Structure 1
């Protein structure tokens, strides 16, 4: 979980709130930001001017937007991840072999964070992308991670984020979730049967290194292409074996 600052700096908090607000759209006017934030127009303008000076915000006409400098910073952080460095080629291969959208994610602050995606021949367009953060309880890749974490850690995540409903299939009951996680741990893979997005099914498997949960991988596809009947076929085995191979690659790289 994120540790609370002992002495938070209000100015920094306001800048971060502004950045996160800009991150939700393709550009915002000063008046729009004033409506969304508890800040004066002059205060917002001062923050934006400082961010522009340092290359973090750009202005096109009367629209303010985040600059690609954030991509540079995020790319550097991602490159330090052994899961990402060793996982890219395997995710590419999984996408090629299955024809589907293959995903690589880790857990941070009780959320799934996408590190890499690769598109196969039949991959669908989703709202997910590198850096995208999602709840763990209603996606295959997230449930694979949860099932590998200690119960008290999962309890903490549920306490922090709850179990919000995304579709009629979302698990919103704590005990039902833990029963599902027990089944996932026993069989070695997780499924998402239209639990976040109607018409979409996912299969996920954890990248587990001797009890250290590094993250998980998954494939996503329309339910009509993958479906419940696909949960026990060769595709499921390929997802599991890819996750296992990735864990071994990281293990041997550490030795």
Structure 2
């Protein structure tokens, strides 16, 4: 069935993904709960779930359903197809070991940030982020490192599509203020996230730029504000990240 307002949009496909996203949001759900959430009849929701279960995309336990691991296979395949993942993962892991903190690799897709790799040092804090998670770009150091190196009109389109919701009281939610911040990122060569997405967490991020001056993604080190202060936050970690980024960029160029 085709949406009348957009003939290229297949409603059944969109409904399938709405159900999967709702299962992800709730961790698990019954047919009745999903019926209320996606505004379909119980029989329709049951048919979708039965099909997804048969193909391994959801798992049924009693009366509840949850996302199945077959989706991990698709995500793992997509990640392996990203050249930057294979090139950067060892450098990001080494960065976590050397700093003792949480190191990350993020790329942009459809105007959102996607974590491709994360590595935990001995002192790394636990956060709500995970590999494959999609996050806004405007409220993370990683995202700002990427946005700063995208064309202005592309950034405007991303903000038009996804908005600038606040995660904390330190999130930039004004477009002009964000563009001023992105100018600072370009001038400094790195981005600083001072509790913009998670209260109590700071992050230093740098972009990965290929030989055509296109941003491929960004890497970062994150940690608690108590350990990310003064010289370490504004000098030591930025310099270390820029050094690692340089190695990744060279490997991208000559791979």
After superposition, residues 166-181 of structure 1 pair within 5 angstroms as 166-181=167-182
> Partners in 2 of 1:169 and 1:13 — Cα distance?
34
Contact 1:105 1:216 survives alignment (8 Å): yes
1:124 and 2:125 correspond: yes
Q: Partner of 1:115 in structure 2?
A: 116
Distance 1:238 1:35, change over 3 A: same
TM-score normalised per structure 1: 0.95
Q: How many pairs does the alignment contain?
A: 250
After superposition, residues 169-248 of structure 1 pair within 5 angstroms as 169-209=170-210, 210-248=212-250
Q: Partner of 1:56 in structure 2?
A: 57
> Partners in 2 of 1:6 and 1:96 — Cα distance?
51
Distance 1:36 1:53, change over 3 A: same
Q: Partner of 2:88 in structure 1?
A: 87
After superposition, residues 134-173 of structure 1 pair within 5 angstroms as 134-173=135-174
Compute the displacement of 1:242 (Å).
Answer: 1.0
Compute the displacement of 1:228 (Å).
Answer: 4.6
Distance 1:13 1:123, change over 3 A: same
Contact 1:100 1:121 survives alignment (8 Å): yes
Once the two structures are superposed, residues 191-239 of structure 1 have per-residue CA deviations (whole angstroms, 9 ceiling, x without a partner) of: 1001111110000000011311110000110011113543333222111
Compute the displacement of 1:7 (Å).
Answer: 2.3
CA root-mean-square deviation: 1.3
TM-score normalised per structure 2: 0.95
